[in-house]
Structure 1
Amino acid sequence: MTSSPATFDRTAARESAERHLRALVGRDDATLREDQWSAIEALAVDRRRALVVQRTGWGKSAVYFVATLLLREMGAGPTVIVSPLLALMRNQIAAAERAGIRAVTINSTNNDQWEPIHAAINNGEVDVLLVSPERLNNPGFRDEVLPRLAATCGLLVVDEAHCISDWGHDFRPDYRRIRTLLDELPSGIPVLATTATANARVTGDVAEQLSGSRQLDDVLVLRGTLDRESLRLGVLKMRTTEQRLAWLADFVAAQPGNGIIYCLTVAATQEVSAYLRDRGLEVRAYSGQTEAEERGRLEADLVEGRVKALVATSALGMGFDATLSFVVNLGAPSSPVAYYQQVGRAGRGTDDATVVLLPQLEDRDIWAYFASLAFPPEHQVRQTLAVLSEQGTLSTAALETYVDLSRNRLETMLKVLDVDGAVRRVRGGWEATGQEWAYDAERYARVTAAREREQAAMLAYLDTDRCRMRYLREQLDDPEAVDCGRCDNCGGLTLSTDVSEAAVEAAHERLSRPGVAVEPRKMWPTALATLGIDLKGKIKGQAEEGRAVARMTDLGYGQQVRELFRDSTPDGPVPVPLVQAVVQVLNDWRPRVDAIVVVESTRRGVLTQDLADGLSRYLRVPVIGSFALVDVDVPPGAGATNSAQRVSAVGRRSRLLLDDDSVSGRRVLLVDDQVNTGWTLTLAAQQLRDAGAEAVLPLVLAVQA
């Protein structure tokens, strides 16, 4: 009995797929699992669309690389993979090359290579093109390159596909451009979307978007168990920051391998890594502020074991592939789904990995800050659309002079409006399309409510006495979730809170060192002339580098300054512990000054005057004037969300008033309570320099970040 042609073709395709898998992983005994083959078959044989929701380490990249090789054998065009992070791209390219796949990437760090890459694609010399989602909205790429890719690609892959969904924990506006790309694909081009972190709501949303104009049943959804059999989860609550840091140093030193320490803020990565290095541990900080080349070096150092750990924000997350024996979170992410993704970095290639969460008192404050960056209210969106309609094409920097939103928040809003069709990104900035647009307040409210539920669920994770892995899997709607037998609640992990007095004292000493550099502003915001302000280019009459006691986000004095500047804290003199901290900062800094000018404050007038008077007594130099409030109708913090608006507001609100002209030739200590944008100090320093001051040195109690 002979096989039918269809059966023969599928059998041959699977044999070829197994051969490619062995080349990809470098093992002669490697075989595809049935669910992996189901996905590959749907893509390469049936030319369908598929959504694969599988745990980290399941082998999602093997699916699209093997499918790519099968499709290329059949004469299909190159695969286009949309990947969110450079770390993922670097890993993907290295894996592809092992299987003889010619892979290239187009991203913000290699624009000098774009033209040769485009030529190689046109010549059929590229099997896989990896692009960042941001590229999809670049005008040149979108209008010139993307249509050609859509017409000629053999497979489209959307990695970390939960980013498409408003309901996903890591929604990204740039990913919404993929909806348009899906609609423009010719019939018969297969599409694969993959993620490890999607609950039922997100899975349904992504599948619906993946189907486009097709029937939802046309999309194959493969959803597997989300258990991570190598992970042992635990939560450890400790009373003080010193205890947490001391425990962390002891824990990391005792681990047999290397790992990741996640922090919620950039400042914390720097502070924690410095402390751990003091304890003799080879660690490095890693965040969204780390230069791209340095990120690559740090990732390689971790993979190769040259560092014990990276102390990172969530910038080290999606797609990072290494064999790690531990992940510690110093502070809780705002959702169980985000936490599941971060802990998924551990336990790949090892049978046993320890995952510990150390919650902090300030976690909710940090969650609230990030939540404040949500989609703006309708009046600000309407204002933006009106400005673009009236003014024509404007850059984001120019728009800041009209709309009181931060650069990042304005960019995010514009990306959403672009996908919605209300604005269009063009060379030189943004333009209004004139298309009618509706503010979907109900949808934004639903998303906000969902985020609040996620935060409540994260707090419940900290206190649950149930199996922790089961809890996380149930948050992801895993129907196979059962007790793991490995976590601290199941009895498979024991975590001691014991730390030596010497270790706690060392942590206390580190946290007790106040002092943060306050860097001066160097350039005026763009397009201030729009606001009637004749300032542009490099700032003449800059302040010198100043000092603050602490950042609001710091682990040590950060907690004290956060309490001091809470709305519920009444105005009053500088608390004694912060007085002592100011003295220590001065002793370390040793500024040479012979006069003091104080920045007047509506909210903290007593505090700032007390600070200035105390400094005058300690340094034995006079207070000779103030950066005074001259227009109380401009509220405190007006324009603080973007630089141009803030310069305008501060310029109207305050003016330098001196007792006489004695500032000429003097070095001035400029005293304020806190720094948010830095523009108040900048304008005060400029006016002092214009009045003849030799130098201006800012001193404040706190900086916002």
Structure 2
Amino acid sequence: MTTEEIRAEARGQAEAHLRALVGSDSAVLRDDQWSAIEALAVDSRRALVVQRTGWGKSAVYFVATLLLRSRGAGPTVIVSPLLALMRNQIAAAERAGIRAVTINSTNIEQWQPINDAINAGEVDVLLVSPERLNNPGFRDEVMPRLAATCGLLVVDEAHCISDWGHDFRPDYRRIRTLLADLPPGIPVLATTATANARVTADVAEQLVSATGEQEVLVLRGSLDRESLRLGVVRLRTAEMRLAWLADHLAEQPGSGIVYCLTVAATQEVAAFLRDRGHEVAAYSGQTDPTERAALESALVEGRVKALVATSALGMGFDASLGFVINLGAPQSPVAYYQQVGRAGRGTDDATVVLLPQLEDRDIWAYFASLAFPPEQLVRQTLEVLAQAPGSMSTVALETYVELSRNRLETLLKVLDVDGAVRRVKGGWVATGEPWSYDADRYARVAQARQREQDAMLDYLDTDRCRMRFLRDQLDDPDATDCGRCDNCGGLTLSSSVTEAAVDEAGAALSRPGVAIEPRKMWPTALANLGLDLKGKIGDGPVEGRAIARLTDLGHGQALRALFRADAVDGPVPPPLASALLTVMKDWAGDWTDRPVAIVGVESASRPQLVGDLATGLSRVMQIPVVGRFAIVDASVAPGQGAANSAQRVAAIHRRFRLEADVPAGPVLLVDDLVVSGWTLTVAGVALREAGATAVLPLTLGTQT
């Protein structure tokens, strides 16, 4: 057969597989879909496909899998970021007769049977999470065998490889090692819907084969989403935004997603909408995995009007949704494009609404604070590991390095991929390999993030076509006016809200009171810091109360203003004082015995605020202030160690000492703001040791 005949036959087989996959006898491959499949299954090349959500990227790798397997190739390995994607992909594969399995953190008991099935040639597709790639057992035992025997490697949501992208994930960098270990001639496919020109070039560069004998085939298509109608509704207050949701949610087509920027907001908004008669549920990264799957099914099947979700319901979630509403703006137009892409798949018309908030930039600033750590902390991490006699766990390492658990894990993953450390069973070891801190690159990435935030603000104010704006941000050369958005005249969004809805939203947001959960376990390895504390915290404080979280929609705004770095110290503002009394009245019903005394936590930065809080409660409750958790070492900075629990406990023990005549009875422990919860815990333990029968923490706000 001639080359042309071979390709024609392969295309005929590919389209037959496509028809089986989608269940339609009239289905045909798009030209770019065939170009990608041809590169993979005929030419054994590496390809990067940048196409809009819903274009059919999964059809490319499933059809290529069927072609390759029919010729005796090994199983396809798909690296996927989310369980939601894996569940959808397995269901889609089974419809085409593809035997697909997944290895992830939720099915450990199935790993050995899956490995046995792979070895027996009974698996066509294996889906793995990027986190698995750096698990020592998987990396050292399973991954080499997969690299040697797989017929196709697929990297889905490939923008996660690039630290220039809006959703960089260090675990994805391990894919570079997997790529380098592939035998010659194994095709590789990377796919994404959200990569601008810089990210596309970065990912393509990382896909180049070790020999460099072939360039990566890059297929970029139009990123227009023809079913989406984009609009922005600006409302002055949080009450009005909640009221808009209550008044207009039922008008939206079909089922959809209401995105929020924080976990707390998902719970708050979902509770309010349910009270208003809407069938909704909250969804976030903290939702139990089993409940997540049930909620996703309910949304897909239209049994709920909406899931009120964080971005945890994002990449890879595949459903025919009629709308996406964002309560608060993501930090970049590219991230926003990805979220709105959840709507309009399989539908001709979908509505996308953005309700910006004043507090958006505060939340963006918090996420920006989690950027790559400064060089001093990185060097300190490497030095501690180098001096350790063996491996160190993350929890042990954090007693020496002032980084939060998540940031420390992220740093270690980056250092692992860079070759400076290695993950082993039981923790981490230093390799001794030289490592340089690329300060210029990190600074450029931070600057890129700032430009993205500025562009998101520009999106809110633009009078240009909104879809064109987003496509320009993705460097789509074919971007044109859509004719469908509010600026093009294709969508009219009412900004009206009913007085009743505003009143009810105001009542919900002004209802103060969140629980302060007590710490139950001491951090691991405190002996490294000279503290003989371990295991369960026996006699500590009970569950306390705060007016609100700083991220809350209601009192959160007043608390954020109160605790800004440049805020002037002074007494408790009257609205917050009134809210605190409401909290006290509601909380009093849970007390076994009424407090008999008050102890305040001394503050160097806000002494008037904490002092006024304690004395004001003393007047109202008619009980004395009997002392303070006093600052005795001012050289320990107020927030020192706040990044991780072990460091924070050690800093509190050095900074504070209980100076109080503690009575035998319940004591109200008063502070201004809960950050980590350890100050209240250590103070509570000291009060119990001094004779208090119970310790009840009370603060104005909590950061989480």
State the distance in 2 between where 1:52 and 1:559 align. Answer: 43
Structure 1 residue 650 corresponds to structure 2 residue 686: no
Q: Which residue of 2 aligns with 1:169?
A: 166
Q: Which residue of 1 aligns with 2:690?
A: 691
Match of 1:578 among 576, 579, 584: 576
State the distance in 2 between where 1:678 and 1:255 align. Answer: 41
Larger mean CA deviation between 288-297 and 548-557 belongs to: 288-297
Structure 1 residue 60 corresponds to structure 2 residue 57: yes
Q: Which residue of 1 aligns with 2:233?
A: 236
Helix, strand or coil at the partner of 2:478: coil
- Conserved 8 A contact 1:656-1:687: yes
- Conserved 8 A contact 1:326-1:346: yes
Q: Which residue of 1 aligns with 2:623?
A: 621
Q: Which residue of 2 aligns with 1:359?
A: 356
Q: Output aligned runs, 1:245-284, within 5 Å.
A: 245-284=242-281
1:217 offset after TM fit, Å? 5.5
Structure 1 residue 78 corresponds to structure 2 residue 86: no
Structure 1 residue 514 corresponds to structure 2 residue 512: yes
Q: Which residue of 2 aligns with 1:636?
A: 638
Aligned letter for 1:118?
N
1:216 offset after TM fit, Å? 8.1
Aligned letter for 1:75?
G
Change (3 A) 1:534 1:171: same
Aligned letter for 1:212?
S
State the distance in 1 between where 2:540 and 2:320 align. Answer: 48
State the distance in 1 between where 2:338 and 2:369 align. Answer: 23
Structure 1 residue 16 corresponds to structure 2 residue 18: no
Q: Deviations over 1:430-458 (max 9, x none)?
A: 00000000000011011011111111111
State the distance in 1 between where 2:407 and 2:362 align. Answer: 19
Structure 1 residue 196 corresponds to structure 2 residue 193: yes
Aligned letter for 1:603?
S
Q: Output aligned runs, 1:337-348, within 5 Å.
A: 337-348=334-345
Q: Which residue of 1 aligns with 2:299?
A: 302
Match of 2:587 among 567, 586, 589: 589
Q: Which residue of 1 aligns with 2:403?
A: 405
- Conserved 8 A contact 2:157-2:192: yes
Helix, strand or coil at the partner of 1:226: coil
- Conserved 8 A contact 1:326-1:355: yes
Aligned letter for 1:113?
Q
- Conserved 8 A contact 2:597-2:666: yes
Structure 1 residue 69 corresponds to structure 2 residue 66: yes
- Conserved 8 A contact 1:51-1:220: yes
Q: Which residue of 2 aligns with 1:441?
A: 439
Aligned letter for 2:373?
P
State the distance in 2 between where 1:277 and 1:655 align. Answer: 46
Q: Which residue of 2 aligns with 1:560?
A: 558
- Conserved 8 A contact 2:253-2:351: no
Structure 1 residue 112 corresponds to structure 2 residue 114: no
State the distance in 2 between where 1:629 and 1:199 align. Answer: 51
Aligned letter for 1:677?
S
Q: Which residue of 2 aligns with 1:604?
A: 606
1:218 offset after TM fit, Å? 2.3
1:5 offset after TM fit, Å? 2.8
Q: Deviations over 1:61-107 (max 9, x none)?
A: 00000000110000000000000001000000000000011100011
Q: How many residues align?
A: 699
Aligned letter for 1:563?
A
Specify every segment of 5 or more residues in structure 1 that has no aligned partner in the other structure, as ranges. Answer: none
Q: Deviations over 1:211-267 (max 9, x none)?
A: 133448621111100000000000111111100110111121222311001111111
- Conserved 8 A contact 1:207-1:216: no
Q: Which residue of 1 aligns with 2:455?
A: 457
- Conserved 8 A contact 2:468-2:481: yes
Q: Which residue of 2 aligns with 1:393?
A: 391
Match of 2:38 among 37, 41, 45: 41
- Conserved 8 A contact 1:208-1:216: no
1:616 offset after TM fit, Å? 1.0
Q: Output aligned runs, 1:451-530, within 5 Å.
A: 451-530=449-528
Helix, strand or coil at the partner of 1:480: coil
Specify every segment of 5 or more residues in structure 2 that has no aligned partner in the other structure, as ranges. Answer: none
1:568 offset after TM fit, Å? 1.4
Structure 1 residue 102 corresponds to structure 2 residue 99: yes
Alignment RMSD:
0.9
State the distance in 2 between where 1:114 and 1:542 align. Answer: 41
Q: Which residue of 2 aligns with 1:670?
A: 669
1:582 offset after TM fit, Å? 0.5
Q: Which residue of 2 aligns with 1:569?
A: 567
Q: Which residue of 2 aligns with 1:324?
A: 321
State the distance in 1 between where 2:410 and 2:509 align. Answer: 36
Structure 1 residue 549 corresponds to structure 2 residue 547: yes
State the distance in 1 between where 2:479 and 2:222 align. Answer: 8
- Conserved 8 A contact 2:247-2:498: no
> What's the TM-score, normalizing by structure 1?
0.98
1:6 offset after TM fit, Å? 2.0
Larger mean CA deviation between 85-94 and 206-215 belongs to: 206-215
Helix, strand or coil at the partner of 1:76: coil
1:15 offset after TM fit, Å? 1.4
Helix, strand or coil at the partner of 2:628: strand
Q: Which residue of 2 aligns with 1:121?
A: 118
State the distance in 1 between where 2:8 and 2:468 align. Answer: 38
1:622 offset after TM fit, Å? 1.3
State the distance in 2 between where 1:49 and 1:404 align. Answer: 42
Q: Deviations over 1:256-295 (max 9, x none)?
A: 3110011111111111111111111111111111111111
1:593 offset after TM fit, Å? 1.4
State the distance in 2 between where 1:420 and 1:620 align. Answer: 62
State the distance in 2 between where 1:132 and 1:564 align. Answer: 42
State the distance in 1 between where 2:253 and 2:479 align. Answer: 29
Structure 1 residue 415 corresponds to structure 2 residue 437: no
Match of 2:139 among 142, 150, 160: 142
Q: Output aligned runs, 1:217-236, within 5 Å.
A: 218-236=215-233
Q: Deviations over 1:584-618 (max 9, x none)?
A: 00111114211111111111111111111111111
